[in-house]
Amino acid sequence: MSVLAPLSHALAAVLAGAHHVLSAIGPNASWLLAIAALVVLVRLALLPLTVRGVRHAHASARARPQLQSLTKKYTKKNSSGSPSQADVMAMMAERRKINEEHGVPRFAMLAAFAQLPIFLALYHLLSDVSRDTAVGAMSDSLVASLGAATFLGTPLTGHGYLSGDTAHLVITLGLAATAALVSYLSQRLWVLPNMVMADMPETMVRVQELMPVISAAGMLLAGSSVPLALLVYWVISGLWTAGQAAVIHRWFPTPGSPAAERRTLKLQPA
């Protein structure tokens, strides 16, 4: 059994439950809305991790000037040779103290990594049921019902660009392009301006600037093999991400970022 199986079964129960509630609407609309409900419920469950990530970004930004001064202090002190073990220990102790003063958590990245298994489990769930494989509460009858559902006449379980007729190609490519465009605009308009890159190495800055293009290209490439149901999920999830990023960019920008500078200027009296 896969380590993601418990998560996949939990998500299958959510998807099956949402479809049961919405089944009176009709076979096609009920599955599309069930996928949308799955997106909303999962993203709401992940909201505390998102809030934690925003708080971590703000705390790290506030601590950054002191940490930079600390690094310069010990770099200057040991400019003539390698730092001693005592200096290294002292620097680490001072870093911990600064981080504690500003509320920077020791294991901040755990919040971001905790989301990855959920998204992987979602991918496996939608992929499995699109291949007529029952998963937990998604029984054989529900899998068959999903297999018969369509989006604009194209089966939700169809895979890739070339597994059907011209209409299938147009719908699948259109959904993949929409997901790619939403991802690109979200990162370009709201995520990048909310990052502090002033002290980043030039190579890292270029990588960050390329991320919107890389992400969009990855979605277009993935669209050639994933089921249509997953593309629907990506579009809805991408719209949620874009809205969430816009809210953070507008009202909770990272201190020192271009977004924060623009907000400060807007709030200044005329």
Assess whether pLDDT exceeds 90 at residue 5.
Answer: no
Mean pLDDT taken over the chain: 88
Give the whole-angstrom CA distance, residue 143 versus residue 130: 7
**Tens digit of each residue's pLDDT (9 = 90 or more) over 220-241:** 999 998 899 999 999 999 999 9
A 10 A CB-CB count for 242 gives 18
Share above pLDDT 70 across residues of the chain, in percent, rounded to a whole number: 94
- Residue 116 CA to residue 266 CA, distance in Å, equals 36
Please give the pLDDT value at position 156.
Answer: 93
Could you tell me the pLDDT band of residue 219, with boundaries at 50, 70 and 90?
very high
* Confidence class for position 91, pLDDT limits 50, 70, 90: confident
pLDDT value, residue 44: 92
CA 159 to chain centre: 23
The CA-atom distances, in angstroms, between 22 and each of 19, 31, 165, 239 are: 5, 8, 30, 22
Nearby residues of 120 by Cβ (< 8 Å), 6 or more positions away? 4
Q: How far apart are CA 224 and CA 226, in angstroms?
A: 6
The Cα 116–Cα 46 span in angstroms is: 11
Q: Evaluate if residue 175 carries a pLDDT over 90.
A: yes
3-class secondary structure per residue, the chain = CCCCHHHHHHHHHHHHHHHHHHHHHCHHHHHHHHHHHHHHHHHHHCHHHHHHHHHHHHHHHHHHHHHHHHHHHHHHHCCCCCCCHHHHHHHHHHHHHHHHHHCCCCCCHHHHHHHHHHHHHHHHHHHHHHCCCCECCECHHHHHHHHHCEECCEECCCECCCCCCHHHHHHHHHHHHHHHHHHHHHHHHHHHHHCCCCCCCHHHHHHHHHHHHHHHHHHHHHCCCCEHHHHHHHHHHHHHHHHHHHHHHHHCCCCCCHHHHHHHHHHCCC
Distance separating alpha carbons of residues 5 and 15, to the nearest angstrom: 15
Q: Averaged over 164-189, what is the pLDDT? A: 94
Q: What CA–CA distances, in Å, run from 29 to 33, 109, 255, 257? A: 6, 38, 43, 42
Band of pLDDT at residue 143, cut at 50, 70 and 90:
very high
pLDDT of residue 66: 85
pLDDT digits (tens, 9 = 90+) for 183-194: 999 999 999 999
Please enumerate in sequence order all residues whose Cβ is within 8 A of that of 109, keeping only pairs 6 or more positions apart, or say none. Answer: none
Lowest mean pLDDT among 81-85, 205-209, 254-258: 81-85
